[in-house]
Structure 1
Amino acid sequence: MRRSEFERAVADEFGARGGPVLNDLVLTSLGDLTASEAIHAGMPPKDIWLALCIEMDVAPERRYGAGRLEPRRR
């Protein structure tokens, strides 16, 4: 997962709550860092996304492939 995909996934899943989720929610599975702190520490976006999904109880079918753009139609 690229960082742009991570940002799209957060926006799609959490909408206006995305900012507070990234900045305020402490993720114990990531060493008690927020998602923003984990990004700045260089952790892989996919690991951060999955930690957010677990903590926020995101349905499994919305966890994988989130943030990817739909393929262009020709």
Structure 2
Amino acid sequence: MRNTVFRSLMAEEFGEVRAEMLARDHVFSALGGLTADQALDAGISPKQVWRAVCEDLDVPPERR
């Protein structure tokens, strides 16, 4: 998964404004206490970040 695909999935699931806020501000324990943006900047794959987002925010399996 590319970063652009990750951003697109976030926007589709949460809306553009909320997706940006979540990526910037929400800390995910599955990402070692990093936000999605921090995790991506640290080199964690967008696919792994998306999985953490889905798990933490209860995205239904059919949209993961």
Pick the TM interval, shorter chain: over 0.9
Letter in 1 for 2:57: M
Q: Does 1:4 align with 2:4?
A: yes
| Equivalent in the alignment of 2:24 | 23
| Equivalent in the alignment of 1:48 | 49
Letter in 2 for 1:36: D
| Aligned residues between the structures | 63
Say which SS state the counterpart of residue 37 (structure 1) adopts: helix
The TM-score normalised by the length of structure 2 is: 0.94
Unaligned ranges ≥5, structure 1: 64-74
Cα deviations across residues 10-46 of structure 1 (Å, max 9, x unaligned)? 1100102101110111000111000000011010000
Letter in 1 for 2:7: E
Higher helix proportion (structure 1 or 2): 2
The TM-score normalised by the length of structure 1 is: 0.82
Q: Between Structure 1 and Structure 2, whose CA radius of gyration is higher?
A: 1
Structure 1 segments (4+ residues) deviating >3 Å: none
